[in-house]
Amino acid sequence: MKIINYILRIIVGLVFILSGIAKLFPIEPFEIVFVDLGVANWLTAPFLARFIIAAELFLGLSILFNVWLKNKIYYTTQASLIIFTVYLIYLLITKGNTADCGCFGSFLSLSPIASILKNGVLFGLMVFINKKNTSREIGTKKWLPLLFVVIAFVSTFLLNRVGLHNIQGIAVNKPIDFSELPPLYKTNQKVDFSKGKKVVAFLSYQCEHCINATSKLVLLDREQKINNLYLVIGSKKEKGLLEFLEKTKPNFPFIWMNDDTFFKYSGGRLPAIIYMEDGVMKKKWYGELFDVDDIGNYFIHE
């Protein structure tokens, strides 16, 4: 029985550690969850996401090395499983069972129901481990919890540092010709970029930052419908385009470009987002650390 308890404790500890590490790369989808729930904004979400990942690593290390802090680790772990299960139920109700819970980041996709079952199994294993665990020798070493806190938090914030997510767009104010861009996908409808106020986002299907940027734009659109945003998606094959659309689920008009002229328009750094008025580029954002709120000022809402 002691061996079974030992094995189960290792399994549970490693699940928590793997879950934390998997969410760290990339971390942006996990950050978006907190903005979507309304518990953080674009500036605080990166810190909250890393704090939770670090806490997950701390719990995993404590369980793995049999450190319980007079059962505080046990109760904290069970409470965290309950809290995340409540979130999964909310996700199941609002988005259905086809949504990815994000519990293991991009490493492993799990539906809400599968993740609820996983949490139930972990909860049961923790009850079993707590009842059968009589060995507390390691837990008496008071320096171990402090060491685990340092390892968890320092590694989380160093391995994937918080960037400056409020980088403002660059003022450009120069004419730009988008007349040669293809028509909207599967239509013959050409967009006249020489008239009106428009935001154009250049995205590559295999660019992780482009996927994250699109997810942020989708979230903004969900909060308040945007009607002057156009996506230009670069992909050599239509399969890549469809994969991008499946991951991000945008509801914006978009253009598909399947040749190298895509980079002529987008430049060398992606994602590239342009605000233009009557054919004149007024402002440009690029890279993964653009200011979401700054871009939001240039959207026209219904």
Encode pLDDT of 166-178 as tens digits.
Answer: 677 889 999 999 9
| pLDDT for res 138 | 52
Domains of the chain and any CATH numbers: 2-159 (no CATH), 170-296 (3.40.30.10)
Among 29-38, 132-141, 188-197, 205-214, whose mean pLDDT is lowest?
132-141
**Residue from 219, 221, 207 nearest 266 by CA:** 207
Res. 107: pLDDT tops 90: no
As a whole number, mean pLDDT of residues 221-227 equals 92
DSSP tag of 235:
-
* Band of residue 139 on the pLDDT scale cut at 50, 70, 90: very low
Half-sphere exposure of 227 (CA within 13 A, CB side): 5
* Band of residue 106 on the pLDDT scale cut at 50, 70, 90: confident
- Tens digits of per-residue pLDDT, 238-281? 999 999 999 999 999 999 999 999 999 998 789 999 999 999 99
Res. 140: pLDDT tops 60: no
For residue 218, give every residue at least 6 positions away whose Cβ sits within 8 Å of its Cβ, in sequence order, or none.
248, 249, 250, 251
| pLDDT for res 100 | 86
